């Protein structure tokens, strides 16, 4: 890494926080402006599914695990794929995936297996043209760089960071919308929080 590529900043952490904030604000604005139908469709799929399974690789998977926890707090039956207590997916279930490229082999294979089992697939991705998108009933496109995009055109951040941040915030927004629709109070949700901590 050359200093010409990354000039030394006077306050590097503060400047990096400002950069992240600007990029996140931009990608969220794009989500609001360009994906309202897909966002509404994803919320409806989550609300109507008897069970929700979440799957992502690496940091995208961690981001979706946060969403799984919030959906559980709301009272949905949610499983993180790969956890030892996750059951078989079946007819009517929803597999919610996150893959920037839409080509991650394990996620595409799981999506195919899910559709073969009669489940519905939804995808959060940077593209609606991929093997994963072809299997998904609903695709929410996030205008962020994938992890292999080092052009710095879509994001100054490293290796899909903006995409993963957007997945976390999108998950929180989906939870919040479903919570508001449910009419439940914060006190209603609280008993579902872990109590073995």
What's the CA gap between 19 and 12, in Å, rounded?
A: 10
| Cβ–Cβ under 8 Å, residues 144 and 163 | yes
How does DSSP assign 81-118, residue by residue?
TTSTT-----TT-EEEEE-SSS--HHHHHHHHHHHHTT
In the set 10, 83, 164, 197, the catalytic residue is 164
Q: Is 6 exposed, middle or buried (0-12, 13-18, 19+ CB in 10 A)?
A: exposed
83 a catalytic residue: no
Tokens 């992502």 -> residue: 56
| Cα separations in angstroms, 75 against 65, 92, 188 | 15, 17, 10
Q: Using alpha carbons only, how large is the chain's radius of gyration in Å?
A: 18
- Pairing between β-strand 138-141 and β-strand 120-125 as defined by DSSP bridges: parallel
Residues assigned a catalytic role: 164
């Amino acid at each position: 890494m050359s200093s010409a590529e990354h000039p030394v900043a006077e306050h590097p952490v503060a400047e990096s926080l400002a950069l992240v904030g600007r990029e996140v604000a931009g990608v969220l604005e794009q989500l609001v402006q360009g994906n309202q139908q897909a966002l509404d469709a994803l919320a409806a799929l989550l609300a109507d599914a008897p069970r929700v399974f979440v799957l992502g690789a690496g940091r995208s998977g961690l981001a979706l695990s946060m969403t799984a926890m919030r959906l559980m707090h709301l009272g949905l039956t949610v499983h993180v794929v790969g956890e030892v207590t996750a059951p078989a997916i079946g007819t009517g279930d929803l597999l919610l995936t996150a893959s920037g490229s839409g080509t991650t082999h394990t996620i595409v294979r799981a999506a195919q297996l899910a559709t073969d089992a009669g489940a519905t697939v939804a995808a959060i991705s940077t593209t609606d043209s991929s093997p994963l998108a072809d299997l998904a009933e609903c695709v929410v496109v996030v205008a962020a760089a994938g992890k292999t995009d080092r052009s710095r055109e879509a994001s100054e951040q490293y290796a899909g960071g903006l995409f993963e941040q957007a997945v976390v915030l999108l998950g929180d927004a989906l939870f919040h919308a479903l919570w508001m629709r449910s009419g439940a109070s914060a006190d209603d949700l609280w008993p579902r929080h872990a109590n073995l901590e």
